A and B are shown apart, each in its own frame.
Chain A
Amino acid sequence: MTTTRDICICVSGGEGLDAPFDPRFGRAAAFLLTDIDGTSVELVPNTGAEAAHGAGLQAVKLMDAHHVRHVVAGHFGGKADAGLRAIGAGMWLAPEGLSAAAVLERFRDHKLARHDG
């Protein structure tokens, strides 16, 4: 039941899997949507990143629209947590300073910690 791009990695810009991982979910510049192998990659700008308030819920809306099943960030705020839970997305935690490719590799290798609120 997985779509081809069901993993979202928060990134601070750039193109493709070389993009640097951004630990902030709601405030990340963009979302890198990818499949488990990293072969099908799409960069979706985070239109809510500059919002004064409510960036988290806006980002959840984007995740819902793209049928994302797993989100990787550095931390999840209370509203993002509630929203992602509601859309049934898994939440995973990665450390700062990695590339999107490195985050994806850790995800694949089951080396990321699950965020459970």
Chain B
Amino acid sequence: MRIAFASGKGGTGKTLLSTSLAWSLARDPDRVVVYADADVEEPNGHLFLAPKVTSRPPITVPLPTPVPDRCTGAKRCEAACAFHAILVVGTQVLVDQDLCHACGACTLVCTDKALVEVPFAIGALRVGATGRLAFVGGELDVGQARATPAVDATVAAAVAHADALAADTLVVDCPPGTSCATMASVRGADLVVLVTEPTPFGLHDLRLAIAMCRAMGLPVAAVINRADLGDGAVREALTAEGVPLLAELAFDRAIATAYAEGAVAAERSPAVRAAVAAIAAYAAALDRASSLPPSVQRSA
């Protein structure tokens, strides 16, 4: 079972709830749980779960690299590049590495074999464990703009890790928004939990996030954080959209304090424990209802 925490709006409590859920589930000795931090542009799950990191493998993208003396100047690569990252001058190929999306089209169309793909590091994984809870996090290098392949690599590594451990649950902490990187982080999830807040901004981005999940055919549910502040428009929108509301968390200074201290909120707050228990129960029901055997890997 793969449960992704997304939000639309940032700062609503994705990490608060995903670390809390993973931490809570992993306390059950019969369960094998993997937590993945796919928010590669600002990963922070490790600050709360404090995993013992055992390896930091690089995240790479295959960048086209010219092979000397092979180019015949046909410019097929230049024409194939949708991102205008290639300029062929005579028989010299210039690749703008910042513009390149590593799609492979140029290498594919070159019949002179004048381009080879060379792995280029854009970030690194953080692989380890917090006690029994396995941890896989992705981190994009500062200055890098390629978040999507880094998210893809992080999720793939987490799924492989979960398979290797025969894990029953993979919890994915996703980036905010509805961009390509966010889509990459929720793709393949059995349930997307949208964490929102009862503000106009929260509502606006929640609608976008629901639309994204629906367009991707992903089951979606919601949690309202700081539910006692703001207005009732988010609740109404969830009802109108038919999105199940799994839990509401009232604003609690103790939760904010725990979070600021880098503690897993579920460790301190009964309300957070109740919220993640509700999420786990809903996920379990969804899993039972599914005809597929329980698995973290969902067929595309």
Contacts and interface: CB of A to CB of B under 8 A. Distances in A.
B208 to A, nearest CB: 22
A83 interface: yes
Interface string B143-155: 0000000000000
B94 A83 contact: yes
Contacts of A83: 87, 89, 94
A49 to B, nearest CB: 13
A8 B169 CA distance: 62
Nearest to B95: A57
A60 interface: yes
A1 interface: no
Nearest to B92: A86
Given A54-B99, A57-B99, A64 B89 contact: yes
Interface in B69-83: 83
Q: Which of B87, B96, B99 has the most CB of A within 10 A?
A: B87
A54 B85 contact: yes
Given A82-B94, A86-B94, A53 B89 contact: no
A58 interface: yes
Contact of B96 (A54, A64, A87): A54
A28 to B, nearest CB: 17
Interface string B75-113: 000000001110101101010101100000000000000
Contacts of B98: 53-54
Range class of the B interface residue count: 10 to 19
Range class of the A interface residue count: 10 to 19
A66 interface: no
A79 B94 CA distance: 9
Contacts of A61: 87
Interface in A63-81: 64, 79
B10 to A, nearest CB: 22
B97 to A, nearest CB: 9
A19 B98 CA distance: 33
B94 A57 contact: yes
A3 to B, nearest CB: 17
A57 B89 contact: no
Contacts of A58: 84
Given A54-B84, A57-B84, A58-B84, A79 B96 contact: yes
Contacts of B87: 57, 60-61, 64, 83, 86
Contacts of B94: 57, 60, 82-83, 86
A62 to B, nearest CB: 11
Nearest to B98: A53
Contacts of A60: 87, 94
B218 to A, nearest CB: 29
Interface in B32-81: none
A59 B168 CA distance: 54
Contacts of A57: 84-85, 87, 94, 96, 99
A44 B171 CA distance: 54
A54 B99 CA distance: 7
Contacts of A86: 87, 89-90, 92, 94
13 contacts: A48-B84, A51-B84, A54-B83, A57-B96, A60-B87, A60-B94, A79-B96, A82-B94, A83-B87, A83-B94, A86-B89, A86-B90, A86-B94
Interface of B: 83-85, 87, 89-90, 92, 94, 96, 98-99
Given A54-B98, A86-B94, 11 more contacts: A51-B84, A53-B98, A54-B83, A54-B96, A57-B87, A57-B94, A58-B84, A64-B87, A64-B89, A79-B96, A82-B94
Q: Which are the 8 A-B pairs with shortest beta-carbon distances?
A: A86-B89, A54-B99, A87-B89, A57-B96, A86-B92, A57-B87, A53-B99, A54-B96
